[in-house]
Chains A and B, each alone.
Chain A
């Protein structure tokens, strides 16, 4: 199946970031060179696991008589490996990177929730938590891919060490939530404080379905992320993609705060009121701190 959705290159391969970095007289983004040893170790961990994304399939295939039972087994395995949420849907062209070919029928997404409490400990604590979570997701996707291949079905893990699938359309399709104004998917329980790993496969499974709980309507009137963005990168107006509202972040305005400084930004996600449900006390304390320093002030300013 050939993909249809463009993926923006990451890091200095992104021409927008490269031109801004060079215009500032730098060789690379300050944010990348300022990584702590712990963050660098997390980044190294997914590079190390990249060769295990795909591999030999057990020639003795188990027969799947009941896809519902197999689905329960796969979800239980993902949870046992450390996932917080697991969803499954049929792979569709818009879930795959433009120009890539993924020859599988289903995609399994395993997400790990971040510890939102880190928001009160500064930008580096938030970034370390994000990288820890990505590293965990990489482990889960890798192990789950091996598990499925051992059942006799092809499976490929997709994570920070290599991926051909798009997170947001998959999150939406499995019912994790809806796309928010800040450009991340919002979950009822975890806000946008979670990270994913994926496995594409031909193992017969049962699909989950989209679940809407009013996020896009709330985002039309909320604007808290927009009002807190240091770079004013979150637009007022949305576009429509496949019937879904999308607020496309202006990278030229985002990058000076998220890439050209030493510290992480992440404010748009941290101030989202959907974090209240899981962490009411922390959210209130964090927003009090934002008020004191000035809502648009970057972290560690």
Chain B
């Protein structure tokens, strides 16, 4: 079964995970509903594969750790 995260990206660059979804159609439906909310007009949304998302977070942590060394 497909596993996808929907992320909300705020104008200041903050990323907040909306949830875990199990098909492209399910994730796209959520994004469409969020985009329809005027309170979130300034946010962007991305749908990414769950494994890749976790790897990205890990890579980001490793990069941060390397930068501190």
Contacts and interface: CB of A to CB of B under 8 A. Distances in A.
Tell me, yes or no, whether A binds B.
yes
B17 interface: yes
Nearest to B6: A6
Nearest to A23: B1
Contacts of B54: 235, 237
Could you say which of B15, B22, B34 has the most chain A C-beta atoms within 10 Å of its C-beta?
A: B22
Instruction: Give the interface SS of chain B, mostly helix, strand, loop or mixed.
Output: mixed
Interface in A99-117: 99
A74 B7 CA distance: 38
B16 A242 contact: yes
Given A2-B37, A4-B37, A98-B30, A252 B22 contact: yes
Interface in B27-61: 30, 33-34, 37, 39-40, 53-54, 57-58
Nearest to B27: A6
A241 B22 contact: no
Contacts of B22: 15-16, 251-252
B39 A239 contact: no
B30 A6 contact: yes
B17 A246 contact: yes
Interface in A216-265: 235, 237, 239-243, 246, 248, 250-252
Contacts of A246: 17
A237 B53 CA distance: 10
Interface residues of B, number: 22
B20 interface: yes
A295 to B, nearest CB: 24
A4 B53 CA distance: 22
A200 B16 CA distance: 26
A6 B19 contact: yes
B57 to A, nearest CB: 7
Interface in A242-298: 242-243, 246, 248, 250-252
B53 A15 contact: no
B3 A4 contact: no
Contact of A241 (B3, B17, B57, B58): B17
Contacts of A99: 33
B5 A2 contact: no
Contact of B1 (A235, A242, A248, A252): A252
A240 B16 contact: yes
Nearest to B7: A239
Could you say which of A2, A6, A19, A248 has the most chain B C-beta atoms within 10 Å of its C-beta?
A: A6
A235 B1 CA distance: 16
B15 A4 contact: no
A93 interface: yes
Could you say which of B16, B26, B34 has the most chain A C-beta atoms within 10 Å of its C-beta?
A: B16
A242 to B, nearest CB: 5
29 contacts: A2-B37, A2-B39, A4-B34, A4-B39, A4-B40, A6-B18, A6-B30, A6-B33, A15-B26, A16-B22, A19-B1, A93-B37, A98-B30, A98-B34, A235-B54, A237-B57, A239-B17, A239-B57, A240-B17, A241-B16, A241-B18, A243-B16, A246-B17, A248-B20, A250-B3, A250-B20, A251-B22, A252-B1, A252-B3
